[in-house]
Structure 1
Amino acid sequence: MPQTHRGAAPSGRRRRPFTLLLLAGLIGLGLGLDSAAADGRARLETFLKGLTSLQSSFEQTTFNADRTRVTQGRGTLYLQRPGRFRWEYDAPNKQVIIADGKRVYLHDLDLDQVSHQSEEKALRGTPALLLANDAPIERDFNTRPIESTDGRDWVELTPKAKDTDIVRIELGFGSTGLESMIMEDSFGQETRLNFGQTKRNPILDLSLFKLDEKAGGDFLSFD
């Protein structure tokens, strides 16, 4: 898997706010930045342009504020724009996060528990909002190109909303498209995702974006 351009950091999982579990205005002057750094914003726009669906494997690592590793995971991401996605964690803890266009459901198979919230509230300021929504980037995020140290094109995004749990997002683009994502939350924890085996605009079964009616256990609403 590709490596990120900085040091390391994924987050605690059981009793944190719902939006922290999800698995996301233009500065745009470009003055004083070399062309490689300025490419991050352009790569993001190119990546999102014409994107209707996506399938990718991922590896995730979360670190505490002191950059001590907390958790690791891996799984598969399915995306159907607008408004639908599925993050399926295979290991070490089996979880499924589903957005059906109206609500976001977190099904923790280990806890036998389903938490759910409106998409508008759950996705505010998160990378999932950027990937799943087809609205202009500048509606929800400020952007700033980052000078690259690993040969890839990086861009930083900060949510415009003031009440978000995610305070900073960095996206790294390489030869295969979006390869890495870094998120920092309001607790100073950092989550890193590396993507691979990505398929752009595949035909996906829409049943992927519906909560299994057989899902048992407790249902907890965070609205």
Structure 2
Amino acid sequence: MKKLLLAPVLWASLTIPALADQLSLGQISDYLNSFTNAQSPFTQINADGTISTGTLYIKRPGKVRFEYNPPDAALVLAQAGAVAIFDTKLGGQPDTYPLSRTPLSIILAKTINLGQADMVTGVASDGTTTTVTAQDPENREYGSIDLIFTADPTELRQWVVKDDTGGATTVILGALETGGDLPNRLFDIEAQKLK
């Protein structure tokens, strides 16, 4: 009788897919350090619930470009320690902030070490993804970032930036293409100001 009762339990355990192990901070840091250049289509869910799409370009260290598709008229560039937000419909000078004031500076660093003291404030896994919550330990008031990774292979799939007012912006990546070379002009804030 005991064998008959255990049989369905054993069968069920064989048919349920194994959950992915939580990625370690070392594995995630190694993955992020494995590429200098990357690009991906993205979908952005803004804090007000609106949705934007575009293409993301990353060139580490310190450079990023969010090129938004119409009807959005925005372009976000990071270079030389600054982030510039352009409204291409209105023209004029961009809003500019120090890159260090944004949690994106964590993944744009020359060398990424998520195990650095106080940088990571949480790590969680739901069996499919690993979420790393991080913030600049010297500028906690500037917000935080949740980086969401899948395993086998390790890939950055999305992030959620939480600002100092409690607003959250989610960026969902498409296929992240790494390698190749991205020209520095893609990230040139001063050249963009002259357009």
Q: Same fold by TM-score, threshold 0.5 exceeded?
A: yes
Counterpart AA for 1:171:
L
Return the structure number with greater strand share.
1
1:56 has 2:40 as partner: yes
Question: Aligned residue for 1:36?
Answer: 21
CA distance in 2, matches of 1:155, 1:55: 21
- TM alignment of 1:74-113, pairs within 5 A: 74-113=53-92
Counterpart selection for 1:195 from 154, 165, 173: 173
Tell me by how many angstroms 1:61 deviates: 0.3
CA distance in 2, matches of 1:158, 1:82: 17
Tell me by how many angstroms 1:209 deviates: 1.4
Q: Which has the higher contact order (CA 8 A, sep 6+)?
A: 1
Counterpart selection for 2:93 from 107, 114, 126: 114
Tell me by how many angstroms 1:178 deviates: 0.4
Tell me by how many angstroms 1:108 deviates: 0.8
Tell me by how many angstroms 1:193 deviates: 0.9
1:173 has 2:149 as partner: yes
- Is 2:145–2:160's contact at 8 Å kept on the other side of the alignment? yes
Percent identity over paired residues: 22
Tell me by how many angstroms 1:62 deviates: 2.0
**Unpaired segments ≥5 residues, structure 1:** 1-33, 218-223
Counterpart AA for 1:52:
T
Return the structure number with greater helix share.
2
TM-score, L = length of structure 1: 0.66
Question: Aligned residue for 1:160?
Answer: 137
User: Higher Cα Rg: structure 1 or 2?
Assistant: 2
RMSD: 2.8
The alignment covers a number of residue pairs equal to 173
**Unpaired segments ≥5 residues, structure 2:** 1-18
- Is 2:120–2:132's contact at 8 Å kept on the other side of the alignment? no
Tell me by how many angstroms 1:111 deviates: 2.0
Going from structure 1 to structure 2, the CA distance change for 1:180 and 1:102 (only over 3 Å counts) comes to closer
Question: Aligned residue for 1:7?
Answer: none
Tell me by how many angstroms 1:208 deviates: 0.7
Tell me by how many angstroms 1:53 deviates: 0.9
Tell me by how many angstroms 1:46 deviates: 2.4
Secondary structure (helix, strand or coil) at the match of 1:87 reads strand
CA distance in 1, matches of 2:138, 2:149: 25
